[in-house]
Amino acid sequence: MGGENRFRLQFKFWLDVNKPDEEALAVLCEDLKRRGLYTKTIRDGINLVEDLRNGHLDVLFALYPWVKELIVYGQGGALARPASPMVAPSLDELIPLAITQSSDDDATDNFLDSLDSLEF
């Protein structure tokens, strides 16, 4: 393990703070850095968006298991639909469910906010 060469890449991106949405992202990035969550959030976000763009929900369900439970069991805890890998809800079904889910978790709030900016 000690003799292995590590190969790491760094990526940069620009934010135009004259645009309100991008200024808000800059503030969020600084806050995430302060809390030590920046790199993990970037990795999770890129993986999530790519998975969703490819029509998959695996990363979403891994990051937010409550979303899968809400879809399978509904708000009242009763089985809402058969739990089958062949049944995948659309984003149109997921977003209203996610919005009604209440949580004090910052990661959940960040995820819900990020749904608004997804392009499909």
What's the CA gap between 91 and 66, in Å, rounded? 15
Q: In Å, how far are 3, 28, 103 from 48, measured between CA atoms?
A: 33, 18, 20
Does residue 7 lie within any of the structural domains? no
- How high is the pLDDT of residue 4? 78
Domain residue limits at 44: 20-115
Q: For residue range 61-116, what is the model confidence (pLDDT) as tens digits?
A: 999 999 888 888 776 666 555 545 545 556 566 666 555 554 445 555 555 555 55
- How high is the pLDDT of residue 109? 55
CA Rg value for the chain? 17
- How high is the pLDDT of residue 70? 86
Does 31 have pLDDT greater than 60? yes
- How high is the pLDDT of residue 120? 40
Does residue 6 lie within any of the structural domains? no
- How high is the pLDDT of residue 34? 97
Start-end of H helices in 1-63: 20-34, 38-53, 58-63
Does residue 2 lie within any of the structural domains? no
Short-list 117, 116, 115, 109, CA closest to 32: 109
**CB proximity list for 79: less than 8 A, separation 6 or greater:** 72, 73
Q: How many domains does the chain have?
A: 1
Mean pLDDT in residue range 36-46? 96
